[in-house]
Structure formats: structure tokens, C-alpha cells
Amino acid sequence: MSTPPPIPAGASHTLEEFIRSTSQQDKGHGLFEKETDKLLEVNLNGRVNTKMGSMVAYQGNIRFSREGALDQGLGGLLKKAVSGEGMSITYADGQGKLYLADEGKKVSILRLQNEAIVVNGNDVLAFEPSLKHTITMMRKVAAMLAGGLFNIRLEGSGMLAITSHGEPRTLRVEPGKPVCTDPNATIAWSGNLTPQFKTDTSLRTFIGRGSGESFQMLFEGSGFVVIQPYEEVVVAPDRG
């Protein structure tokens, strides 16, 4: 059956045309597929790990449960005790179609093949249980930056969906050519890199809003770092 021609942007249309133009479509891409640039469809048959609060709809028999305090081991329990909630993960189990989104952010799907990547905790949307995940806490920045405090290291083989405000861009890190980034604009980096943190008070006057841009992440070695064209500030959990 031929696909009906698209409706021009901004044009008025009947209810039938609206339903047709916005209806869910099976693209046959497997477990993860982008229903739109900002909406992830998960063709679930088993379990998938998702960011808490990211479910917007589902069809079928799907059950949701929160990752337990001890699922990350005693170290994970200690991190939550020190910092409040940190990064929360929901398990989705069953069969059906699950739709995930996060504040209108763009979705990117990655397939890891015995590889490792570290992602800002706020930018992880979903990942397969076959990927080992470890929540890490950057203690050095705890008092300076709430949004960059928690990261998730994912390693192994499996699919991963991350989000970004706008189109993500990847910068290569090469020996002798370090890369410095704004922590609030940093989405992810290769698992073999360990960022250092530096301050440059002279930048405060010239970059961004002047509210902490002097604090930077420094990447050295061989690998990559992914950035977004947006400074995303995450409010720290209320521990009061």
C-alpha cells in the first residue's frame, strides 16, 4: 500500500488527516526505534531499564518497578544515602509497546558492541539489561555542580538510548589535543576516558551566563566526548 503524501507544515487539516499524519508507525528496526526524533518506541519482550518518569504511554502487558536500593550493591546504597535520590531507574517487564520521552529532548540510539560509555545520568533514557551499568558520583563537583554529579557507566553489548537538547555533536580527543567542555553541556564520553576538572575564573566574564562557566571538564588521551548546544542545569534533590 502506498504511503499518503505528507501534509504541509502549518496547513490546516481535518481530524482524519491529523490522525493519519501522527499515527504510530512500525519501522521494523527492532527493540528500540525512534517513533519521532523526540519519542522512543520500545518493542518490549522481556525487560528494559528506563529513566524514572520517562514513560508517556504503553500498549500490552507491561509492569513497572523501581530499581532497588541494593540492586547496585552496597556502594550504590551508600551513594544514595550521601546524595539523596541520585539517578533513579525503572524496570519495565512484559510484552508490548512502550513509549519513552524526556522533556522534548532529541533521542539518539546507540548499539554497544563489547564497548563502554559514560553518560550524564540525566541524559540516559533506556538501555538493555545486557549492559552492565554502574552509577558513579563525582565527589569533586558535588558542591559546585548538581547536574554533572551523577553519571552512568554502561559496558558490554546491547542497545542504549540517550537524549540531548538539540543535535548532539561528538568531539574527538587525541593525544596532545585535549578537549575542555562545559559540564552542563556534556552528555557522554568514551569509557576509557576519566575527566579532570579545572577552573578558569577569567572565562566567567566571556562565556555563557557567567554562573559557573569557569568550571570545566578536561578530557585527555584517546577517545571522544559528546556535547549538546545547551547548558542543562539539574536541580539537586531536596534532602530536607
Q: Quick one: 27-227 is in which CATH superfamily?
A: Mitochondrial biogenesis AIM24 (3.60.160.10)
The DSSP result for 178-224, as a single string, is -EEE-GGGEEEEETT---EEEE-GGGTTTSTTSSSTTEEEEE-SSEE
Q: How confident is the model at residue 78 (pLDDT cuts 50, 70, 90)?
A: very low
For range 130-145, the mean pLDDT: 73
User: Which of 225, 228, 217 lies closest to 185, judged by CA?
Assistant: 228
Cβ burial of 87 (10 Å; 0-12, 13-18, 19+) is: buried
Residue 148 has pLDDT above 60, yes or no: no
Render pLDDT for 152-167 as a digit per residue (tens, 0 to 9): 999 999 999 999 999 9
For residue 238, the tally of other CB atoms under 10 A from its CB is: 7
Q: Can you give the pTM of this predicted structure?
A: 0.79
Least confident interval from 26-30, 56-60, 93-97: 26-30
pLDDT tier, 211 (very low <50, low <70, confident <90, very high otherwise): very low
pLDDT tens digits along 36-77: 999 999 999 999 999 999 999 999 999 999 976 445 544 444
pLDDT > 70: what percent of the chain?
A: 71
Is 90 exceeded by the pLDDT of residue 145?
no
Residue 33 has pLDDT above 70, yes or no: yes
200 compared with 43, residue with greater pLDDT: 43
CA distance 48 to 78: 25
Residue 116 has what pLDDT?
A: 96
The pLDDT assigned to 198 comes to 81
Predicted pLDDT at 76: 47
Amino acid at 71: D
Highest mean pLDDT among 7-11, 61-65, 182-186: 61-65
**Rounded-to-integer distance, Cα 94 and Cα 190, Å:** 32
Strands 169-173 and 223-227: antiparallel
Of 69-73, 100-104, 140-144, which one has max mean pLDDT? 100-104
Alpha carbon distance 59, 76 (integer Å): 32
| pLDDT level of residue 79 (50, 70, 90 thresholds) | very low
Secondary structure of residue 158 in the 3-state scheme: strand
pLDDT score recorded for residue 3 = 55
* CA dist., res. 95 & res. 98, Å (int): 9
The pLDDT value recorded for residue 70 is 45
Task: Tell me the average pLDDT across 217-240.
Answer: 79
Question: Domain boundaries in the chain?
Answer: 27-227
CA-based R_g, the chain, Å = 20
60: left (phi over 0), alpha (psi -120 to 50) or beta: left
Residues whose CB is less than 8 angstroms from the CB of residue 212 and which lie 6 or more positions away in sequence, other chains included? 144, 145, 184
237 pLDDT band, cuts 50/70/90, is very low
